[in-house]
Structure 1
Amino acid sequence: MTTVRIIERGRVDLLGEGLFWSAADDALLWTDIIGQRVNRLFPATGRVESWETDGAAGWIIGRESGGFMAGIGRSITRVTLDPPTFETLADIPGEPESNRVNDAVADARGRLWLGTMPFSCDEPVGTFYRFEKGALTRAAPDAYTIPNGPAIDPEGRFVLHTDSALGVIFRYPLEDGVLGTREPFITFEDGWGSPDGMTFDAEGYLWVACWGASCVTRFAPDGTVDRRIALPASQITNCTFGGDGLDRLYVTSAANGVDEELGGALFELDPGCKGLPPCLYRD
């Protein structure tokens, strides 16, 4: 049976997301989108820190040159935490005021892949972007309602990206920073919840946070279900590997819209496998 630990802290997340393991700090970072916060956990001591942001905080990812990148509101922001500074690098053009950033990942070449979505979660007006050396480009023509993920397979051949509103994880071929035509990779069945954040482990299996199903699910490379780990909250939002050996699986959840004792908690799991070092943004 998998051990599930609840991280003790002074608050819960209205909408926890954006997990990132910082090996440089031996710390886990994540965001609270609706609560407009960036959080940091030092697992060795249990200390948790939190900073307010001036907009919805979709994600935070390490920079190769130090510090972090974050998606806040409709902007891409450079962040340092010691001391805390937030510097807007790029506003995402053409986005309606009703949109915000949601979820991102860096690839092995230091590029960011990120999505936008409406606050209302009910219209396909979101976009999938690539951010590379300060330049923002629309990565794909497809429109998204609730873009989640994304995740890069360990060989760097594909970008997986989810539209949670459709219950589908899509797969884009990736070559020289250009995405090919997307195709459905995993279509969630009744009772599986909605696919949310996801990450690969070192064996090439995909871990997916299952919103509404109180679990994370591990999928084999062919897209079939390998196993599920139950969690004591319904709205599971994201997952990433961390710890010195990358053998801990950290999972975020959301308190917004539910009356649950552990809604919005941060969980630490013993998944029985290891993750991959996260990629960093390269200026």
Structure 2
Amino acid sequence: MTDTAQQPRPCWSDRLELGEGVRWFDGRLVLVDILAGRLLQAPDDGGAVPGAALREVLRLPVPLGAVAPLADRPGWWVAAAGTGICLLSPDGVLDWLARPEDATPLPTRMNDGVADPHGRFWAGSMAYDATEDAGSLYRVGPDGSVTRVLDGITVPNGPAFTADGTVMYLADSARGVIRRYSVDAFSGALGTPEPFATIGHGAPDGMAVDRNGSLWVAVWGAGAVHRYREDGTLDRVVPVPAAQPAGVCLGGPDGRTLFVTSARVGLDEPGPLDGAVFALPVDTPGPPASSFRRAEAA
């Protein structure tokens, strides 16, 4: 089950504090350094260039959990940032749709997020100190409305969607569990959660679904990435030469490159590859990452 035939290779010279939110959009690899508020893009076509560095697209004055591009508005993004959801202009101006975490009794921030195949944006929140049950999951509709759809989560990561958008996977990292939800295509309403996988060593973090419906999971604290079949069976473990893998996506020109981000935050003695971004060829491609489709009348 453990695959040591091919090891993920470090791609660029950067060592990120908390690299997450990695996505392949329109032939480019995009990711964030959460606590530094940085939106980053890989050089060239996302391929590894020895000694090259990631390009900083934007730097925000608040933490930046994840972004998705706005359909038909080049250079614009929807972002899980600070205490809420905002639109980002090409020059970095923040247009807040909502800041629901301003009202929480604990210091909290937005965490991972993604657009689903129907054009909605989803993002989680968490307490800075990972207080139990302090996190939530929000859904952003095409009209720009921000709705809390789940609460009682400690550290939400993902979500990740199947190619048709009818299934969502969500990790509660602090509890080591991944749950699966059905998703109503029209309304975005979630069905009853089903247990999908439990991780005993390390914590499930960022996730991505391939075209066969298998789920790739970065396992924080375990130095590994797992792949699960649709039935929840663990069928592949890929060692990563960094202690804290944090995010994954499938991309590259043919969708058959697994990109893995990692983090240095919290490590007393980070190793030389902690915080690096890695790449590994895989057999099954992933679907294109989705954009946020906002209605013109919103």
Q: Which has the higher strand share?
A: 1
In the alignment, structure 1 residue 111 sits paired with structure 2 residue 112: no
In the alignment, structure 1 residue 54 sits paired with structure 2 residue 65: no
Query: Do 2:7 and 2:238's aligned partners in 1 also have CA atoms closer than 8 Å?
Result: no
Query: Which residue in the other structure is 1:185 paired with?
Result: 196
Query: Do 2:7 and 2:240's aligned partners in 1 also have CA atoms closer than 8 Å?
Result: no
Deviates more, 1:233-242 or 1:169-178: 169-178
**Aligned residues: percent identity?**
36
| 1:45-70 residue CA offsets vs partner (Å, 9 max, x unmatched) | 74621132111110011211233211
| Larger RCO: 1 or 2 (CA < 8 Å, sep 6+) | 2
Q: Aligned equivalents of 2:94 and 2:62: distance in 1? A: 13
Query: Which residue in the other structure is 1:135 paired with?
Result: 145
Query: Do 1:3 and 1:270's aligned partners in 2 also have CA atoms closer than 8 Å?
Result: no
Query: Which residue in the other structure is 1:213 paired with?
Result: 222
SS of structure 2 residue aligned to 1:42: coil
> Structure 1 223/43 Cα, relative in aligned 2: closer, same or farther at 3 Å?
farther
Q: Aligned equivalents of 1:41 and 1:280: distance in 2? A: 18
Query: Which residue in the other structure is 1:167 paired with?
Result: 176
Residue identity opposite 2:55 in structure 1: E
**Aligned ranges 1:71-150 → 2 under 5 Å:** 71-81=80-90, 84-93=91-100, 94-96=103-105, 98-133=107-142, 134-140=144-150, 142-150=151-159
SS of structure 1 residue aligned to 2:118: coil
Query: Which residue in the other structure is 1:248 paired with?
Result: 257
Residue identity opposite 2:158 in structure 1: G
Query: Do 2:25 and 2:288's aligned partners in 1 also have CA atoms closer than 8 Å?
Result: no
Query: Do 1:77 and 1:86's aligned partners in 2 also have CA atoms closer than 8 Å?
Result: no
Q: CA deviation at 1:187?
A: 1.3
**Aligned ranges 1:2-21 → 2 under 5 Å:** 2-9=6-13, 11-21=14-24
SS of structure 1 residue aligned to 2:175: coil
Structure 2: segments with no counterpart, 5+ residues: none
SS of structure 1 residue aligned to 2:113: strand
Let me know the Cα RMSD of the aligned residues: 1.6
Q: CA deviation at 1:96?
A: 4.3
Q: CA deviation at 1:75?
A: 2.5
In the alignment, structure 1 residue 274 sits paired with structure 2 residue 285: yes
| 1:218-253 residue CA offsets vs partner (Å, 9 max, x unmatched) | 101100011111110010101001111111111110
Query: Do 1:253 and 1:264's aligned partners in 2 also have CA atoms closer than 8 Å?
Result: yes
Q: Aligned equivalents of 2:44 and 2:177: distance in 1? A: 33
Query: Do 1:151 and 1:200's aligned partners in 2 also have CA atoms closer than 8 Å?
Result: yes
Q: CA deviation at 1:97?
A: 5.8
| 1:94-123 residue CA offsets vs partner (Å, 9 max, x unmatched) | 344611101111112110111111011133
Query: Do 1:43 and 1:243's aligned partners in 2 also have CA atoms closer than 8 Å?
Result: no
In the alignment, structure 1 residue 234 sits paired with structure 2 residue 235: no
| 1:63-105 residue CA offsets vs partner (Å, 9 max, x unmatched) | 1123321111013222244xx3232232322344611101111
SS of structure 1 residue aligned to 2:152: coil
Q: CA deviation at 1:178?
A: 0.5
Divergent runs of 4+, >6 A: none
> Structure 1 102/251 Cα, relative in aligned 2: closer, same or farther at 3 Å?
same
Q: CA deviation at 1:6?
A: 0.8
In the alignment, structure 1 residue 257 sits paired with structure 2 residue 273: no
Query: Do 2:108 and 2:126's aligned partners in 1 also have CA atoms closer than 8 Å?
Result: yes
SS of structure 2 residue aligned to 1:165: helix
Residue identity opposite 2:62 in structure 1: G
Structure 1: segments with no counterpart, 5+ residues: none
SS of structure 2 residue aligned to 1:178: coil
Query: Do 2:68 and 2:291's aligned partners in 1 also have CA atoms closer than 8 Å?
Result: yes
Residue identity opposite 1:63 in structure 2: L
Query: Do 1:54 and 1:72's aligned partners in 2 also have CA atoms closer than 8 Å?
Result: no
Query: Which residue in the other structure is 1:35 paired with?
Result: 36
